[in-house]
Structure 1
Amino acid sequence: MSAKDILKTATRALRVNKGRTVLTMLGIVIGIMSIILVMSIGQGAQDLILGQIQGLGSRTIVVHAGRQPTGPTDVTSLFADSLKERDVEALKKKSNVPTLESVMPMVFGADSAIYGNEKYQVTIFGGTELAGKIFDISVAEGNFVTSDDVASAADVIIIGSKVKNELFGIESALGKKIRIKDKNLRVIGILPKKGQVSFFNFDEAVLLPYTTAQKYIFGIKYFNELVIQADSDATVSQTARDAEMTLRNMHSITDPEKDDFYLETQVDLAQRVSSITDILTYFLAMVAAISLLVGGIGIMNIMLVSVTERTREIGLRKAIGAKNRDILTQFLFESVILTCLGGAIGIFFGIILSIFGAVVIGYFLGQAWPTGISLFAIILGFCVAAFIGIVFGIYPARRASKLNPIEALRYE
């Protein structure tokens, strides 16, 4: 028999029991749909995070206080006090880091902001006048922090759009004072609604001079991070090496294993995030693929039932000249058609759910969530579906092909 005849025969056999065919495909549909959905959401998360990393700029190097975490539960660096003002001054010296353009100390934390009877939990960022350039933010109303504000530890603050709405409503916030801890801070600027920027949601944050935050809010004399800008993309690696050497000299460290700080370029961070999201995405996809195993077993069972029901048909076909290969190919075709059709339907619904999921996630996050549907995921879905059809269809097909035609014709 030609491949065309075998395909027509297999398709006709599947149409005879439409209800059973649909129910058999259901496990494959759900499995492929789950894989597409998980991979899409994972890719969307990766695209979003990498976009936020790139928002810092390719010339950015972040110096974190404390040793590099050994895992996601290692939070010792959050309490490290290894980065001080003298480190900033040393980094600014051209003799130490010739390719450095700027360095900004950062402190951060969380506390309640109070205005009148209103109270709202905010993220607190202490930085300098460079924060606007580094994070690509500007005020919608009022003024930004200045170098004079930093030098004098001025009691000024810039608030995010949501903070403004929660504390002041429709009332003007400029010039008013809000209280954090026991310090009254005058609102000099309001940020536009922007959502997440480089891991920070400035809508729910406040920004003030780091000197003010250190002195009045956190009561510390160290920094959580230093944000360094190289003078060009080509000098990022050299800037990072020089900064690392300078800090080791400042901290009297000769053994790199004893570093009390660590540096990350945007390339380093992007690679680390990509690795983490890839591992998580593929792990979840494997979990979702368990339903494919169930679907494959269901297909094998139904194909075995089909072989039993069509025993006389198989015997008759063999009696008029059909070879074992023809019978095996026909039943294998039926299995693969079932799984590939289920795969196509699963891919379709997976894409629809991915788009819908991106909209829902974006709504709850307050920002656009990328729809990360890739051609790789679609091709993978088809390939997995075909593979399931072959693996779970081969046994029923071989069983059908080995039936004795005389015994098959006697079967009642």
Structure 2
Amino acid sequence: MKLTNTIKISLAGLKANKLRSTLTILGIVIGITAIILVVSIGNGAQSLILGEIQAMGSKTLNVQPGAPAKGFQEGMMNVFRISLLDKDLEALQKKNNVPHLANIIPLVYSSDSINYQNQSYTGTILGSSAGIFDFYDIVPESGYLFGEDDVKAKSDTCVIGATVAEKLFGQSDPLGEKIRFRNKNLKIVGVLPAKGASISFSYDKAIICPYTTVKEYVLGQKHYNEFIIEVDEEKNIDATVADIEITLRNSHGITNPEKDDFNVMTQKDLMQTVGTVTTVMTLFLAMVAAISLLVGGVGIMNVMFISVTERTKEIGLRKALGATNDDILKQFLFEAIYLTMVGGILGIFFGTVFSFVASIGLSQALSSNWGFSFPYNAAIWGILTSVLIGIVFGIYPAMSASKKNPIDALRYE
């Protein structure tokens, strides 16, 4: 029998049970939809983070506590390392140690309740040098920004983000008022305009103070969470990384580089790390979503067995009229493949729609340009996987149908 005739017979069989066919492919549709959605959001997040890293400039280095992480758990533990101290900051600021260093911004941060009278808001306190304002092009909407004199004097001045101002003061003017963070009073001298949320850090939800004030007066700690370093020229990046490593090893008394308790990251390193992390997380979530594909495959197999049983007489009649075992196998196998392929196409359609809607929602929620990213590779693999599921879970019922004895099949009640 010609393949076209086999296909026509298969489609006729599916049309005769439209409701069953529709319900059968739901698992495939949901699985492919979830995969497309997860991969699309993952790609969007990766693009947004990489964009933020690129915006920092290619001449930027990050010095973080803890050795370069060799695994997720070790990377998480680095957050709690105490290895960047005042002596390290002073050593890095010496021109003969790091000659190509143009600027260094020490950072100290923590999250907790920010309080004003009876109002409370959970946000982040960021201790920094005044250089952070130029580095991120931060200008006040009202008031002024603290300067290096405030840093040296360990002033209790602070600049607050737009969200903090709105939550604590509403329409009132916050300038000159005092807020509390961990029972420490801080005087507001400036308010920042709304910048929109960021994947890495939201200035709208933060209060920024001199790092000397935050480190000693507010948090009562001796260590820094991070150093941001600007290099004078991009061509001097590698040399500066080497100078920083030598300087910190001397400061920490380290002779074996494998014992480093700090990590110097270039823009390229940060982008590679972000790319790796987001890819692994996206793949993991996609694999979880793919479980519904297996469930859908089992559903396909069960329905195909039911269909074979219900159409036993049809199989017997077709064989009596000359259909071969191969014709019957192709008929039922094509039905399974057709169902899963349609499920895959519908899944890609719904996944694309939901991804587009999600990108709009995330852009509004974060006040940032969360671009829609259609995952072409995921879509192609989705179709191929759907067809493969149809073959794997449809072959056994199809073989069962093809092996039926025509005489016994015609007698079946």
Normalised to the residue count of structure 2, the TM-score between the two structures is 0.89
Partner of 2:21: 21
Partner of 2:165: 164
Partner of 1:4: 4
Partner of 2:403: 402
Answering whether residue 325 of structure 2 is matched by residue 324 of structure 1, we say yes
In structure 2, how many angstroms separate the alpha carbons of the residues matched to 1:128 and 1:161? 20
How far off is 1:227 after superposition? 0.8
Change (3 A) 1:54 1:315: same
How far off is 1:335 after superposition? 0.9
Report the AA paired with residue 48 of structure 1.
L
In structure 2, how many angstroms separate the alpha carbons of the residues matched to 1:392 and 1:146? 69
How far off is 1:96 after superposition? 2.7
Partner of 1:378: 379
How far off is 1:327 after superposition? 2.3
1:351-400: per-residue Cα shift (whole Å, max 9, x none)? 22333344555565565644443111211221111111111111122222
How far off is 1:248 after superposition? 0.6
Report if aligned partners of 1:57, 1:134 keep a CA contact under 8 Å in 2: no
In structure 1, how many angstroms separate the alpha carbons of the residues matched to 2:243 and 2:306? 72
Partner of 2:59: 59
Change (3 A) 1:179 1:321: closer
Change (3 A) 1:64 1:312: same
Partner of 2:278: 277
1:52-92: per-residue Cα shift (whole Å, max 9, x none)? 33343332211113445554477654454432333233323
1:163-208: per-residue Cα shift (whole Å, max 9, x none)? 1112222122233343445654332221111233461111111111
Change (3 A) 1:182 1:408: closer
Answering whether residue 351 of structure 2 is matched by residue 350 of structure 1, we say yes
Partner of 2:229: 228
Unpaired segments ≥5 residues, structure 1: none
1:192-238: per-residue Cα shift (whole Å, max 9, x none)? 11233461111111111212223422234432211112234443333
Report if aligned partners of 2:198, 2:366 keep a CA contact under 8 Å in 1: no
SS at match of 1:144: coil
Report if aligned partners of 1:55, 1:136 keep a CA contact under 8 Å in 2: no
In structure 1, how many angstroms separate the alpha carbons of the residues matched to 2:117 and 2:321? 94
Change (3 A) 1:335 1:236: same
Partner of 2:393: 392
Change (3 A) 1:110 1:401: closer
Report the AA paired with residue 109 of structure 2.
F
Normalised to the residue count of structure 1, the TM-score between the two structures is 0.89
The farther-off stretch of 344-353 and 389-398 is: 344-353
Partner of 2:31: 31
Report if aligned partners of 2:305, 2:397 keep a CA contact under 8 Å in 1: yes
SS at match of 1:196: coil
Partner of 1:109: 110
In structure 2, how many angstroms separate the alpha carbons of the residues matched to 1:102 and 1:144? 18
Partner of 2:266: 265
Number of residues of Structure 1 aligned to a counterpart in Structure 2 = 412
In structure 2, how many angstroms separate the alpha carbons of the residues matched to 1:148 and 1:213? 15
Change (3 A) 1:410 1:226: same
Q: Superposition pairs for residues 82-231 of structure 1, below 5 Å?
A: 82-181=83-182, 184-197=185-198, 199-231=200-232
SS at match of 2:25: helix
SS at match of 2:172: coil
In structure 1, how many angstroms separate the alpha carbons of the residues matched to 2:346 and 2:363? 26
Change (3 A) 1:166 1:345: same
In structure 1, how many angstroms separate the alpha carbons of the residues matched to 2:4 and 2:58? 56
How far off is 1:344 after superposition? 1.4
How far off is 1:247 after superposition? 0.9
SS at match of 1:200: coil
Please provide the CA RMSD for this pair: 2.7
In structure 1, how many angstroms separate the alpha carbons of the residues matched to 2:80 and 2:29? 49
Change (3 A) 1:321 1:114: closer
In structure 1, how many angstroms separate the alpha carbons of the residues matched to 2:233 and 2:152? 28
Change (3 A) 1:6 1:219: same
Report the AA paired with residue 62 of structure 2.
V
Unpaired segments ≥5 residues, structure 2: none
Report the AA paired with residue 33 of structure 1.
T
In structure 1, how many angstroms separate the alpha carbons of the residues matched to 2:304 and 2:80? 62
